[in-house]
Amino acid sequence: MNPLHLLCLLVMLLPLAASGDDTPKPPTAKKLPKTDTLHGETRVDNYRWLRERNNPDVKAHLEAENAYAQKLLAHTKPFQEALYKEMLGRIKQTDLSVPYRKGGYWYYSRTEEGKQYQILCRKKGSLDASEQVTLDVNELAKGQRFMSVAAYQVSDSGKLLAYTTDNTGFRQYTLYVKDLESGKVMGPLAEKTGSVAWAADDQTLFYTVEDQAKRQYRLYRHKLGGPHELLYEEKDERFRVGVGRTRSQKYLLMRLGSLTASEWRYLDAATPAGEWKTISPRETDHEYDVEHHGANFYIRTNSGGRHFRLVSAPVADPGRKNWKEILRHREKVMLSGIDYFSGHAVLSEREDGLPHLRVMDLKSGASHRVQMPEPVYSVFGSANPEFETTEFRYSYQSFTTPSSVYAYDMATRKAALLKRTEVLGGFDSGQYQSERVYATAKDGTKIPISVVYRKGVKRDSKAPMLLYAYGSYGASMPVSFSSNRVSLLDRGVVYALAHIRGGGDLGKRWHDAGRMLNKKNTFTDFIASAEHLIAAKYTSSNSLVISGGSAGGLLMGAVVNMRPDLFKAVVSLVPFVDVINTMLDESLPLTVGEFEEWGNPKKKEEYDYIKTYCPYTNLDGRAYPAMLVRTSFDDSQVMYWEPAKYVAKLRTLKTDSNPLLFFTNMAGGHGGSSGRYDRLREDALDYAFMLWQMGIRK
């Protein structure tokens, strides 16, 4: 640590030691006013300097905040350790995933007790064959403070593995190729990469790279040992480039997509030097996805309805004039995905806030839905790389059923359970109750809420509750199982998940009703959900803790500004809270592409609307709930300075004495630490804070 950095840290920590009582004093960030004028209005940002990531004062301030938070939570340290051991005790630390078959091999991952990362493996021909480790992430992580593997693509022969790694948390992935016969690693071959796909010749790789704003914008072709050829550059900053391979292995696909429009191009995988052809040129508000089968492409398209329909198009001439409808648009059913196999197709659908799988026989045209055993659940396709198969793997779980992988025979309609994640420590799903209830929004809309609690918990307003939501990008919030959550449920905490507008739980119209100039529906839906749960006597405002992350952190910031009296405490993870300033900076990741989600504040109407809910802008002198705010210094999606500025400003305005804690992970990314044990300790800290605020100490 250099002397200036040390001096700054000591100055900021001085209040912790110099207070006249045992209560530590929070760090105070200096004010350096930065003035901007937009639409005739002058805005003053006193904390813009916190963006200067190389400024030693910035790191000193973040470390002072960490030290302050640790001191305020010192009394929970034994509880944190107990929670950590409790949660770790439910996990089978040495375990393996369900193997899946691809190209004559069985692929799987496994974990070993004491090791932070997974080990990726395969066996040739049979599960009885000897194991080959293709990639040991623990070895890659040695000497690194962070490690993540993204792309993992094996060539058609099975001899070569293309993979990408990030050792910073900033999602800056580097491309390597490993010879799986000799173990030799080639690379780094390219930096700042995204998607990766092999051609059929076993020598040619296609990959994408990002620009300065972390937008995947270029497609390259690289024949091993040869040059890297730029094939395409996307000029429209709203659009991103991706590359992949059809399940049939016949074609390479290039996707050019924004949040509201898409364009696909294709190339025969056997002719990697050939010319890419367009399926349908991009059009405003036209979104479509592509699968391949035989002489046709099969296309999920919103041309003809917001919730998508299914059409076919001949590979020889796939333009829209040749599209033939297979499945019409349905107003109450969202077609959210398509998967084609040699004799069947599986359609992913959403209806009444629940996911469904529909299997279609390609010869007869007959279709049926796969039956699910519980009324509230989550289901989605698992690893299904093989084209010539009648087996479809899917993952099923609920609030009370751990993650379960099934093999479904699409011909006989029979499902076989392959594996259910083992929960150690005597977990009994029969001890817990799950249900779906509905809140009424101020405009009369019914908002689904999924609830789970331990049987025996009374609805007498006395139970503590954790209410979670997200509500952006059309993302559906799955009713998923968490072995960690059992630590809350077993202490009498009720857990609720609000499926608010802005998400995709009820389809694209649900998303539309909570984005752009409708965004405030997301926040009022959440408030209505909290009010309903209180009125139904699940909990009270004195026992209600709320949580959300990223865009869900925006939700947290907005609702506590609107109704700070409604919540006891807030856990806000990597929160997007400085909406106006971020959306005015087009050099940042995500900004330009997300004009179609939040709006562009350079447009006065959209600026005026964003200004009404932006959490940082609307902080005021009032009492706020207790708060725990988390970020990561190397987060590439929500920059660390957003929550840092938010907390600094809030400290000068809040009139209450409730704790306001701010942690910065100096070696993490958007999801926190990369190691599984490190993440578990972060969860234990969050839980200890929540339970403390709920009045539960052990």
CB atoms within 10 A of CB 44: 10
Q: What's the pLDDT score for residue 10?
A: 37
In 146-239 the beta strands, taken as DSSP E runs, fall at 148-154, 160-166, 173-179, 185-198, 204-210, 216-223, 228-233
251 HSE (CA, 13 A, CB side): 24
Q: Can you tell me the distance from the alpha carbon of 555 to that of 520, in angstroms, rounded to the nearest whole number?
A: 9
Stated pTM of the model:
0.95
Within a domain: residue 247?
A: yes
Is residue 173 located within the same domain as residue 237?
yes
Last residue of one domain, picked from the residues 218, 253, 286: 286
**Statement to judge: residues 171 and 244 lie in one domain:** yes
Query: Domain boundary at 243, 265, 286, which?
Result: 286
| In 485-627, alpha helices (H) | 486-489, 508-512, 520-535, 551-562, 579-583, 604-611
Residue 207 domain flag: yes
The radius of gyration of the chain's CA atoms, rounded to the nearest angstrom, is 26
Phi and psi dihedrals of 43, rounded to 5? -115, 140
Give a yes or no: residue 134 inside a domain: no
Residue 1 lies in a domain: no
Which among 347, 399, 359, 357 has a CA at the least distance from the CA of 379? Answer: 357
Kindly state whether residue 100 falls inside one of the protein's structural domains: no
Handedness of CA 467, 472, 476, 480 (dihedral sign): negative
Q: Is residue 136 part of a domain?
A: no
pLDDT (0 to 100) of residue 303? 97
Q: What domain range is 156 assigned to?
A: 144-286
CATH number of the CATH domain containing 236:
2.130.10.120
The pair of three-digit structure tokens given for residue 506, joined into one six-digit string: 């009820």
Instruction: Report CA dihedral (603, 609, 610, 616) to the nearest 10 degrees.
Output: 130
For residues 674 and 641, the answer to whether their CB atoms sit within 8 Å is no
Per-10-residue mean pLDDT of the chain, 698 residues long, equals 37 40 87 97 98 97 98 98 98 98 97 98 98 98 98 98 97 98 98 98 98 97 98 98 98 98 98 98 98 98 97 97 98 97 98 97 96 95 97 98 98 97 97 97 97 97 98 97 98 98 97 98 98 98 98 98 98 98 96 97 98 98 98 97 98 98 97 97 98 96
Query: Is 564 in the same domain as 676?
Result: yes
Q: What is the pLDDT of residue 140?
A: 98
Q: Quick one: 543 and 418 in the same domain?
A: no
For residue 213, give the nearest of 585, 575, 499, 491 by alpha carbon: 585
- 416 with 453, same domain? no
Whether 465 and 549 share a structural domain: yes
Please tell me the distance from the alpha carbon of residue 559 to that of residue 544, in angstroms, as a whole number: 13
Neighbouring-strand partners of residue 546: 467, 570
Residues 174 and 245 in one domain: yes
**303 half-sphere exposure, CB direction, 13 A CA radius:** 20
Q: Which pLDDT does position 553 carry in this prediction?
A: 98
> What does the alpha-carbon distance between residue 180 and residue 164 come to, in Å, rounded to a whole number?
15
Residue 99 in any domain: the answer is: no
- pLDDT value, residue 23: 81
Q: CA separation (Å) from 267 to 4, 130, 197, 419?
A: 57, 36, 12, 37
Active-site amino acid positions: 550, 635, 670
In a domain, 102, yes or no: no
Domain match, 597 and 627 both: yes
- The answer for 21, left when phi > 0, alpha when psi is -120 to 50, beta otherwise, is beta
- According to the model, what pLDDT value does residue 17 have? 39
- Same domain, yes or no: 458 and 401: no
- Looking at residue 21, what is its pLDDT? 54
Q: Is there a single domain that holds both residue 495 and residue 563?
A: yes
Number of domains in the chain: 3
Strand-pair category, 95-96 with 119-124: unpaired
Q: How far apart are CA 161 and CA 185, in angstroms?
A: 9
542 and 480 together in one domain: yes
Amino acid letter for position 81:
E
Pick the closest to residue 497 from 520, 521, 475 (CA basis). 475
Write the CATH number for 607.
Answer: 3.40.50.1820
In this structure, the answer to whether residues 470 and 482 fall within a common structural domain is yes
Residue that is last in its domain, among 246, 262, 286? 286
Q: Residue 20: its pLDDT value, please?
A: 43
Pairing state of beta strands 544-549 and 465-468? parallel
